[in-house]
Amino acid sequence: MTFILKYTFKVDIFFLNVLAKFNIKNENAIYQVIESLKNGGVILCPTDTVYGLICDAGNTSAIDKIYKIKARDYAKKFAIFTPCVNEIHNFCKISEVHLQIFKSLLPGGFTFVCQINKNFKNKNEWLTDYENIGIRLPNNEFLLKLLKIFNKPLVATSANTSNTNDSSVFENIQNEIKNSVDLCIFDDFKEEKDASSVIDLQNFDNNYQYTILRNTKYVNDFINTVNKIKNA
């Protein structure tokens, strides 16, 4: 019995070494992520809200892997991380009033749902059934640097299996998630954060109409910004 327990322990350590982990402060971490993304990898990574799973938005196989890791219904859509505010028009149909919101609140803890850009949709097979898409620009130094260097959108979703809790603490992320990704990036944060506020802006051109789909602490900043724009 003792021999079996020791053997199992050694296998676990070996397995974790194969699945590379890097502290977000490690100067090599970002280059490991870029290399993994180029090779179709799925990465577990902290954000400005909860931990996320990310991959190259142009890699259908990697996106399929995320669905399988999360045991997620294929009818449920993913959001994307955009490299910067000025790139959002490449992925969504937006207007000047949308840009006012984006420039005021991004980077930040928001997922804005907008009508999808048809050219972006037509170039990506996984977007066939999408009429809209969630856009994120996270307020996280590591991810902003990554997005600038990689210079392509990333599929992004919370790092949890369907119908289970997400977390902003690495130790609270499910082991089945950690053991299924190609690379783990972690930080030392020990307190839980809110998930992003999800706000539908598809009708925002029509007298600033919006729908709050997920109400978290960031919503008040959005409402105050809308009121300032309307009263300007």
Answer yes or no: pTM beyond 0.85: yes
- Confidence band, pLDDT 50/70/90 cuts, at residue 9: very low
Residue 35, pLDDT score: 97
- State the average pLDDT for the chain: 92
- Report whether pLDDT(131) > 90: yes
Residue 10, pLDDT score: 33
Nearest CA-CA partner of 143 in 9, 66, 29, 7: 29
Give the side-chain half-sphere CA count within 13 A for 214: 12
The CATH classification of domain 20-231, taken from the options 3.90.870.10, 3.40.50.410, 3.40.630.30, 3.40.50.300: 3.90.870.10
Angle between helices 96-105 and 219-231 (to 10 degrees): 130
Q: What is the mean pLDDT of residues 168-175?
A: 97
Question: Which of these ranges, 2-6, 8-12, 45-49, 82-86, has the smallest mean pLDDT?
Answer: 8-12
Residue 19, pLDDT score: 64
Q: Is 186 helix (H, G, I), strand (E, B) or coil?
A: strand
**Are 119 and 127 a contacting pair, CB within 8 Å?**
no
- Confidence band, pLDDT 50/70/90 cuts, at residue 232: confident
Q: What is the mean pLDDT of residues 83-103?
A: 96
Give the DSSP H/E element, type plus range, for residue 16. helix 2-18
Estimate to the nearest angstrom the gap between the alpha carbon of 189 and the chain centroid: 18
- Confidence band, pLDDT 50/70/90 cuts, at residue 20: confident
Question: How does pLDDT run across 222-231, given as a tens digit for each residue?
Answer: 999 999 999 9
How many Å apart are CA 54 and CA 47, to the nearest integer? Answer: 10
**Are 137 and 81 a contacting pair, CB within 8 Å?**
yes
- Report whether pLDDT(159) > 60: yes
- Confidence band, pLDDT 50/70/90 cuts, at residue 16: very low
- Report whether pLDDT(26) > 80: yes
Q: What is the mean pLDDT of residues 99-110?
A: 97
Residue 14, pLDDT score: 31
> Can you give the residue ranges of every domain in the chain?
20-231
Local structure of residue 116 (DSSP, 8 states)? B
